[in-house]
């Protein structure tokens, strides 16, 4: 039997009454029920319109772009920004039972010892904000940022906490913050993805690529992971013996087949695939040019500490500035080196965390300076933080006590800068040992609502219909943190 005969017989089989009665009748009831329950996206005027980027802001935005610097693993606020001299005095003493009873920790058990700060603190800038000697370069920029010192979350393990931070849910399947942003505003550059992800620090983050996925939104809105070493995007270059003309012809042919399939099946995801093929072809020219930092002047490389051709957080910070200049809407930098349990020498919040800070200190300060001197900080929101904080108690899982701290969801520090965020402000206070937020507490959903507000969205109104209800990034929670906004 030839391939043509086989294809003909297969088509005849699927168009037979026997196949319909045997395989398809059970789906009719589901279709009818779905229609009665209002399932499906009825908010569009047509399927094609669902894939036109940009639904428009609800009010005039302050930010055109967002750069989210995520320190995956949970950096300790007690060694960076939250100065607690009382905790130093209590170093080595038993933790009060009231701080352990009824609480969930990843590894702490029994009666752990309190661990004093492993860093030295000083006040900086006109605002007098406390910053430790782990971040001497960033300390010079404190008057540009607003600190959120009583942030809290619902999750105490890495993967669900990272998902919660970026998708508003600890479970898989929800769109990420960047996907919501591009769904709402689109991108100013049709030749680049509206949502770009850059990673450093080695290994994959615990939440995986779902942290920048599109969830139930069309996949055209998911983050595109780029690299600062080798091809910016895997398989972006043409294979050997395939030139640009032939690649274009092959994509046109694939998209013609996809269009025919869409006209027959009506699956809107096929339209996403068509747009992704077209974007991928345009990216073959635009991405290598944008991601090439070799043409930056020597003083910029010196300021950031960049090394062209290497994978590093510094290179990613410089790339973030270049992407903002090109109109990319949402840029996420994940740095995976902050899980400081103290399970071995150099893994704790002492020398281990000091080493991690050295890799990010100069680049972050440079990014803020560079955005400001180019007039981009006024329209770019920069956000820094991890998925949770660290306990005031020492984790001694191995029995050695290498100055480690366990995961902590009750209090941690994040900061924001640019796009009308107040400068040199500290919002929120924790108790004497940095365990609870006692004033100005803010939740992860509040942070998400505030980021969307800077982009021009009412977080309660930026929704997408899925499974019969309107979903949003903040679910049914979240309040904009107005006190840090001008």
For the segment 403-421, what is each residue's pLDDT rounded down to a tens digit? Answer: 999 999 999 999 999 999 9
63 burial via Cβ count (<10 Å: 0-12, 13-18, 19+):
buried
- Tokens standing for residue 224: 């595109």
Bridge pairing between strands 469-471 and 464-466: antiparallel
Give the residue-averaged pLDDT of 60-74: 97
pLDDT digits (tens, 9 = 90+) for 128-143: 999 999 999 999 999 9
What pLDDT, on a 0 to 100 scale, did the predictor assign at position 339? 96
Over residues 414-434, the mean pLDDT reads 98
Return the closest-CA partner of residue 253 out of 220, 277, 282, 283.
277
What's residue 37's pLDDT? 44
Structure tokens at 439: 């004033």
Is residue 41 predicted with pLDDT exceeding 50? no
Strands 437-439 and 429-430, bridge-based pairing = antiparallel
In 204-249, the DSSP E strands lie at 224-226
CB 151 within 8 A of CB 436: no
Is residue 192 within 8 Å of 287, Cβ to Cβ?
A: yes
Out of 89-93, 190-194, 429-433, least confident range: 190-194
What torsion do the CA atoms of 449, 454, 455, 460 make, to the nearest 10 degrees?
A: 30
pLDDT of residue 9: 63
The per-residue pLDDT for 267 is: 77
CA distance 87 to 76: 14
368 band by pLDDT with thresholds 50, 70 and 90: very high
Say if domain 65-228+293-465 classifies as CATH 3.40.720.10. yes
Of the candidates 332, 334, 378, 424, the residue with the CA atom closest to the CA atom of residue 131: 424
| pLDDT for 86 beyond 70 | yes
Q: Between these two residues, 293 and 126, which has the higher pLDDT value? A: 126
β-bridge pairing 195-200 and 224-226: parallel
Reported confidence tier of residue 44, pLDDT bands at 50, 70, 90: very low
Instruction: Tell me which residue of 395, 298, 290 sits closest to 348, measured CA to CA.
Output: 395
Using a pLDDT cut of 90, give the percent of the chain over it: 66
Question: Over the chain, what is the mean pLDDT?
Answer: 87
Alpha helices in 75-157 (DSSP H): 85-89
What confidence score (pLDDT) does residue 17 get?
63
User: How far, CA to CA in Å, does 320 sit from each of 49, 68, 198, 326, 429?
Assistant: 30, 10, 8, 10, 31
């Amino acid at each position: 039997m030839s391939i043509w005969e086989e294809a003909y017989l297969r088509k005849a089989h699927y168009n037979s009454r026997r196949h319909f009665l045997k395989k398809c009748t059970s789906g009719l009831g589901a279709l009818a029920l779905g229609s009665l329950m209002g399932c499906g996206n009825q908010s569009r005027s047509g399927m094609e319109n669902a894939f036109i980027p940009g639904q428009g802001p609800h009010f005039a935005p302050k930010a055109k772009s967002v750069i989210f610097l995520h320190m995956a693993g949970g950096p300790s606020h007690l060694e960076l920004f939250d100065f607690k001299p009382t905790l130093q005095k209590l170093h080595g003493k038993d933790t009060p039972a009231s701080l352990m009873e009824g609480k969930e920790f990843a590894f702490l058990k029994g009666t752990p010892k309190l661990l004093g700060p492993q860093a030295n603190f000083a006040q900086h800038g006109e605002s007098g904000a406390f910053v430790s000697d782990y971040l001497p370069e960033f300390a010079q920029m404190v008057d540009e940022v607003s600190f959120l010192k009583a942030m809290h979350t619902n999750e105490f393990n890495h993967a669900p906490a990272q998902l919660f931070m970026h998708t508003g849910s600890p479970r898989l399947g929800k769109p990420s913050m960047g996907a919501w942003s591009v769904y709402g505003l689109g991108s100013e550059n049709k030749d680049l993805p509206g949502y770009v992800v850059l990673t450093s620090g080695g290994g994959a983050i615990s939440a995986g690529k779902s942290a920048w996925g599109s969830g139930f939104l069309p996949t055209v809105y998911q983050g595109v992971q780029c690299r600062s070493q080798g091809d910016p995007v895997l398989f972006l270059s043409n294979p050997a013996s395939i030139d640009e003309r032939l690649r274009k012809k092959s994509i046109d042919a694939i998209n013609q087949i996809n269009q025919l399939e869409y006209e027959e099946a009506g699956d809107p995801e096929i339209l996403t695939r068509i747009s992704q093929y077209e974007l991928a072809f345009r990216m073959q020219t635009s991405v290598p040019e944008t991601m090439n930092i070799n043409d930056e002047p020597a003083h910029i490389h010196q300021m950031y500490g960049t090394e062209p051709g290497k994978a590093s957080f510094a290179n990613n910070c410089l790339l973030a500035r270049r992407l903002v200049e090109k109109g990319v809407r949402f840029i996420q930098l994940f740095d995976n080196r902050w899980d400081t349990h103290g399970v071995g020498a150099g893994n704790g919040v002492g020398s281990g965390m000091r080493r991690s800070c050295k890799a990010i200190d100069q680049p972050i300060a440079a990014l803020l300076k560079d955005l400001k001197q180019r007039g981009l900080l006024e329209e770019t929101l920069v956000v820094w933080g991890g998925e949770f904080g660290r306990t005031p108690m020492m984790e001694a899982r191995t029995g050695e006590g290498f100055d480690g701290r366990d995961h902590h969801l009750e209090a941690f520090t994040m900061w924001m800068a640019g796009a009308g965020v107040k400068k040199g402000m500290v919002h929120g206070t924790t108790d004497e040992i940095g365990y609870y937020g006692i004033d100005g507490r803010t939740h992860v959903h509040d942070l998400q609502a505030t980021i969307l507000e800077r982009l021009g969205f009412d977080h309660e109104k930026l929704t997408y219909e899925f499974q019969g209800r309107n979903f949003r990034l903040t679910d049914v929670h979240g309040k904009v943190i107005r006190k840090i906004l001008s």
